[in-house]
């Protein structure tokens, strides 16, 4: 990993119902609820983190479930599809499972020689399950229904939908040190060689595409991974030197972050591995209790009473 961007750290999306969102990702997809906390700016809204056993960077999908928010619309200017890596031979299981649960397959086929199926979560967010060309040795979180032979390993890639991807590609290559891998139709693939997994960003160009509406069922931002705060701040300088505006360092309790908008309009974050999700609860008990940012702890009773019931 060294002092480089090491693929995707986490992806954050918006949902419209906390219980529905929680049940879909833990029960249907079989992810672990790694952290149950609240939105830093809106403590009456949960912030869920779903991932593997410890919330390894590259496995973490997070949600702001704003109750009753309108459904968004996929279009240009946002990330529009999240691809998970799954084991060889597992797509048959997922086809059958999704069919049994009345979840339609929205597309299937190959991307850059990799077999995939896509479907939507209850809010309309596009999720892809994909068998990577390279062996993915990451240990998955498993459940009684989603076993190790079929469970998601973590992210494979994220797709950005843009009217013009050239300037975004320059951020990926010139700032983040990704490499242009190739093109298939209007899809261009970039990959980092700093890590073997969660390493791919695809850009789909729709020059006449209509803008996205960022609400339930859409992606709020993508976070890219660095090992520590020194590396984080080195990349802050690189972003500034590229002519883009970027925030100061922000403490998110489980990682430190910077935010900036890339030229296509997508909100990018750079996030550290440290301190991790076990800073305030043990690995065995991750996600089992509500964790609050320190500034909200004195209001715990009111916050707990306002949050939606999950069981």
pLDDT digits (tens, 9 = 90+) for 134-146: 999 999 999 999 9
Average pLDDT over residues 72-100: 97
- The pTM of this model reads 0.97
**CA angle, 12 then 13 then 16, to 5°:** 145
Average pLDDT over residues 236-242: 98
Question: Which overall architecture, per CATH, does domain 8-306 show?
Answer: Roll (3.10)
Average pLDDT over residues 167-176: 98
Q: Which long-range contacts (CB under 8 A, 24 or more apart) does 239-245 make?
A: 239/175, 239/270, 242/170, 242/171, 242/174, 242/175, 244/171
Q: For 49-81, b where at least 16 C-beta lie within 10 A, e where not — what string?
A: bbbbebbbbbbbbbbbbbeebeebebbbbbbbb
Strand, helix or coil for residue 132: coil
Mean pLDDT of the chain: 97
Query: CA end-to-end span of the chain, whole Å?
Result: 40
Average pLDDT over residues 231-252: 98
CA distance 283 to 37: 16
pLDDT digits (tens, 9 = 90+) for 250-288: 999 999 999 999 999 999 999 999 999 999 999 999 999
Average pLDDT over residues 163-170: 98
Spatial CA neighbour of 154 closest among 53, 222, 255: 53
Q: How confident is the model at residue 1 (pLDDT cuts 50, 70, 90)?
A: low
pLDDT digits (tens, 9 = 90+) for 106-127: 999 999 999 999 999 999 999 9
Q: For 38-47, b where at least 16 C-beta lie within 10 A, e where not — what string?
A: beeeebebbb
Spatial CA neighbour of 174 closest among 244, 223, 272, 233: 244
Q: What is the dihedral of CA 246, 252, 256, 257, to 10 degrees?
A: -20
Q: What is the dihedral of CA 293, 291, 247, 198, to 10 degrees?
A: 170
Strand, helix or coil for residue 3: coil
Q: How confident is the model at residue 132 (pLDDT cuts 50, 70, 90)?
A: very high
Domain boundaries, the chain: 8-306
Residue found under tokens 């403490």:
251
For residue 311, what pLDDT is reported? 83
Spatial CA neighbour of 37 closest among 304, 305, 309: 304
pLDDT digits (tens, 9 = 90+) for 30-80: 999 999 999 999 999 999 999 999 999 999 999 999 999 999 999 999 999
For residue 2, what pLDDT is reported? 78
Answer for the pair 175, 167: CB distance below 8 angstroms, yes or no: no
CA distance 41 to 54: 25
């Amino acid at each position: 990993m060294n002092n480089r961007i090491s693929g995707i750290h986490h992806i954050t999306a918006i949902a419209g119902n906390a219980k529905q969102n929680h049940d879909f990702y833990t029960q249907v997809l079989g992810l672990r609820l790694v952290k149950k906390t609240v939105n830093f700016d809106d403590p009456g809204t949960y912030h869920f983190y779903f991932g593997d056993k410890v919330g390894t960077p590259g496995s973490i999908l997070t949600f702001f479930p704003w109750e009753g928010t309108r459904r968004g619309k996929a279009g240009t200017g946002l990330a529009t599809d999240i691809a998970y890596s799954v084991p060889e031979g597992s797509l048959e299981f997922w086809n059958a499972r999704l069919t049994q649960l009345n979840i339609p397959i929205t597309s299937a086929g190959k991307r850059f020689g990799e077999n995939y199926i896509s479907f939507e979560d209850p809010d309309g967010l596009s999720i892809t399950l994909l068998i990577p060309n390279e062996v993915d040795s990451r240990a998955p979180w498993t459940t009684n229904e989603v076993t190790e032979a079929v469970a998601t390993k973590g992210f494979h890639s994220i797709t950005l939908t843009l009217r013009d991807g050239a300037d975004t590609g320059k951020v990926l290559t010139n700032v983040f040190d990704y490499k242009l891998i190739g093109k298939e139709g209007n899809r261009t693939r970039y990959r980092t060689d700093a890590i073997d997994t969660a390493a791919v960003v695809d850009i789909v160009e729709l020059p006449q595409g209509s803008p996205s509406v960022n609400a339930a069922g859409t992606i709020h931002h993508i976070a890219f991974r660095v090992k520590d705060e020194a590396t984080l701040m080195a990349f802050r300088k690189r972003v500034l030197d590229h002519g883009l505006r970027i925030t100061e360092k922000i403490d998110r309790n489980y990682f430190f972050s910077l935010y900036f908008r890339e030229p296509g309009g997508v909100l990018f974050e750079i996030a550290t591995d440290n301190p991790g999700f076990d800073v305030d609860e043990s690995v065995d008990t991750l996600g089992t209790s509500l964790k609050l940012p320190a500034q909200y702890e004195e209001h715990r009773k009111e916050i707990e009473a306002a949050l939606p019931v999950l069981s």
